[in-house]
């Protein structure tokens, strides 16, 4: 049974095509820097927005028309969604998808029932993966929607909530492993605070670290060898989320001896909420060997929140891909569209337009980034800019073999510094534009 008889598999037709449901740039087998586009980008579709988003906002209910969904939290309805989801994944040629436990399977009236529901749906997910070849990029737990998580999950002041969250993650690790999930993501949900007046921050952070250690231990116990990822986000829903940005996450992981077990899943809209560019977050994580995966989306400068829009800005995608190529690719991660169609784009076909646009924007970003790298001028400027460090003195300092006293006598003798050179920012911006 097909839900979209009028839509056939989206194919690459090239930049001149006027077909709205064709790829103009995403040509899966095209080789760039020795690797196919498909392998560079490893596109993934998220279940929570694409299959569960309703278009509701604080001012009104959902608008989305989804004829296959009866709106109930029944297992039958969930099974129906699986079928439609895989038709969408396949028609979009997305090699991967990602889910929260509660997106795919309804929460039951007890934890036991929820586990059973999850098992039932996982069976169907496995069958559909088998049939279509679509794979699981990552699984995660929803530890934020149910009112029990009002104070957080692993950082809750209520020890039972911590235990409940542990049980949920344990189960989700088992399911993710059984579905061949290549990563497992922790996004902090409500792990943060609204007020320090009622918060024991030290205790909460200790608990969070303990939770992660248990997850690492359990993964080892069951032989789950997917990559653990933390997804930084600075605020929303709490005013301060503990995993606020790449640097804060890495500091936390290092402080609690968790660094070897985790990488980061960076999201564009979260980077900008943190007051950074995505390029910054990618570079920061990348040079520490912690670039794991990305949640590809964008915010809106005129709206303050995590609006999770589909990425269409070529500057952004090209900058992203420049960093990803620089740091050797995404490994077991992917370009995961944590993005939702606008409330006004309520028809099912909009799901296709949105993903086609996002995939093309990233494919084009990849081509632009590769062209900039092949040109080499931008890289050369950076190399030259630091060339003074390649001399004897620079090398000695970088090797950690210099002292203040030595540098003082060097400078006393020399008297004045060698002249500075221009940073050439505008020229570099122009070179970037040449390739857009
Ligand atoms: C929320 C996050 C969430 C994670 C998965 O802002 O982006 O969607 O990606 O829990
Ligand atoms: Ni996300
Ligand atoms: Ni987000």
Q: Is the peptide bond before 237 cis (omega within 30 degrees of 0)?
A: yes
Number of domains in the chain: 2
Point out the domain boundary residue: 351, 375, 399: 375
CA-to-CA separations, 215 to 6, 161, 170, 311, in angstroms, rounded: 44, 16, 7, 32
Give 409-430 pLDDT, tens digit per residue: 999 999 999 999 999 999 999 9
Any domain includes 215: yes
Any domain includes 38: yes
Any domain includes 13: no
Any domain includes 283: yes
Which ligand has the shortest distance to the CA of 269? 3
Any domain includes 273: yes
Give 218-261 pLDDT, tens digit per residue: 999 999 999 999 999 999 999 999 999 999 999 999 999 999 99
**Distance (Å) from CA 268 to ligand 2 centroid:** 9
Q: Give me the domain span that covers residue 396.
A: 384-434
**Distance (Å) from CA 232 to ligand 3 centroid:** 9
Confidence tier at 63 by pLDDT (50, 70, 90): very high
Atom 6 of ligand 1, residue of closest alpha carbon: 306
Together in a domain, 146 and 248: yes
Percent of the chain with pLDDT over 70: 100
Together in a domain, 272 and 147: yes
Q: What distance in Å separates the CA atoms of residue 143 and residue 100, rounded to the nearest whole number?
A: 9
Closest ligand 1 atom, residue 265 Cα? 9
Together in a domain, 393 and 302: no
Together in a domain, 66 and 117: yes
Atom 2 of ligand 1, residue of closest alpha carbon: 187
Point out the domain boundary residue: 342, 375, 408: 375
CATH of the domain at 205: 3.20.20.150
If you ran DSSP here, which 8-state letter would residue 275 be given? T
The closest alpha carbon to 136, from 182, 194, 191, belongs to: 182
Together in a domain, 84 and 155: yes
If you ran DSSP here, which 8-state letter would residue 100 be given? E
Together in a domain, 347 and 404: no
Percent of the chain with pLDDT over 90: 99
Together in a domain, 168 and 243: yes
What is the pTM (predicted TM-score) of this model? Answer: 0.98
CA-to-CA separations, 312 to 67, 174, 224, 283, 297, in angstroms, rounded: 28, 36, 35, 21, 9
pLDDT at 133 over 90: yes
Question: Per-residue pLDDT averaged across 103-108, rounded?
Answer: 98
Together in a domain, 299 and 416: no
Together in a domain, 170 and 97: yes
Q: What distance in Å separates the CA atoms of residue 385 and residue 364, rounded to the nearest whole number?
A: 29
The closest alpha carbon to 224, from 168, 166, 184, 167, belongs to: 184
Question: Per-residue pLDDT averaged across 325-339, rounded?
Answer: 98
**Distance (Å) from CA 53 to ligand 3 centroid:** 13
Q: What distance in Å separates the CA atoms of residue 91 and residue 361, rounded to the nearest whole number?
A: 18
Any domain includes 20: no
Together in a domain, 206 and 256: yes
Together in a domain, 308 and 285: yes
Together in a domain, 353 and 410: no
Question: Per-residue pLDDT averaged across 354-374, rounded?
Answer: 98
Any domain includes 12: no
Atom 8 of ligand 1, residue of closest alpha carbon: 338
């Amino acid at each position: 049974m097909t839900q979209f008889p009028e839509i056939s598999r989206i194919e690459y037709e090239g930049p001149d095509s006027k077909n709205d449901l064709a790829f103009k740039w995403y040509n899966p087998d095209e080789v760039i820097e020795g690797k196919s586009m498909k392998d560079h980008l490893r596109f993934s579709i998220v279940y929570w927005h694409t299959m569960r988003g309703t278009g509701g906002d604080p001012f009104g209910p959902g608008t989305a028309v989804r004829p296959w969904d009866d709106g109930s939290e029944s297992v039958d309805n969930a099974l129906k969604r699986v079928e439609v989801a895989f038709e969408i994944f396949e028609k979009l040629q997305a090699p991967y998808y990602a889910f929260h436990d509660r997106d795919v399977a309804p929460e039951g009236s007890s934890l036991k029932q929820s586990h059973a529901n999850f098992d039932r749906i996982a069976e169907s997910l496995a069958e559909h993966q088998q049939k279509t070849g679509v794979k699981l990029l990552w699984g995660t737990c929803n530890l934020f929607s149910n009112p029990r998580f009002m104070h957080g999950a692993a950082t809750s002041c209520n020890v039972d909530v911590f235990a409940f969250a542990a049980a949920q993650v344990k189960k989700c690790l088992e399911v993710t492993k059984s579905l061949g999930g290549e990563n497992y993501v922790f996004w902090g949900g409500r792990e943060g605070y609204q007020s320090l007046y009622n918060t024991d921050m030290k205790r909460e952070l200790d608990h969070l670290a303990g939770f992660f250690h248990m997850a690492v231990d359990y993964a080892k116990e069951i032989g789950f060898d997917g990559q653990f990822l933390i997804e930084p986000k600075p605020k929303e829903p709490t005013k301060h989320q503990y995993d606020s940005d790449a640097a804060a996450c890495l500091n936390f992981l290092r402080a609690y001896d968790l660094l070897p077990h985790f990488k980061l899943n960076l999201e564009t809209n979260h980077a900008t909420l943190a007051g950074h560019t995505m390029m910054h977050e990618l570079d920061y994580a990348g040079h520490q060997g912690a670039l794991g995966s990305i949640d590809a989306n964008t915010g809106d400068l005129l709206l303050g929140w995590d609006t999770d829009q589909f990425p269409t800005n070529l500057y952004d995608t090209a900058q992203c891909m420049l960093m990803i190529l620089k740091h050797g690719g995404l490994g077991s991660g992917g370009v995961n569209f944590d993005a939702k169609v606008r409330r006004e784009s309520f028809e099912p076909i909009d799901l296709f337009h949105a993903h086609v646009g996002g995939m093309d924007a990233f494919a084009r970003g990849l081509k632009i980034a590769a062209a900039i790298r092949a040109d080499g001028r931008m890289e050369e400027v950076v190399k030259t800019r630091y060339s003074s460090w390649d001399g004897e003195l620079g090398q000695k300092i970088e090797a950690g073999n210099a002292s203040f006293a030595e540098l003082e006598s060097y400078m006393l003798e020399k008297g004045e510094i060698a002249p500075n050179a221009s940073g050439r920012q505008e020229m570099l911006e122009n070179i970037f534009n040449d390739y857009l």
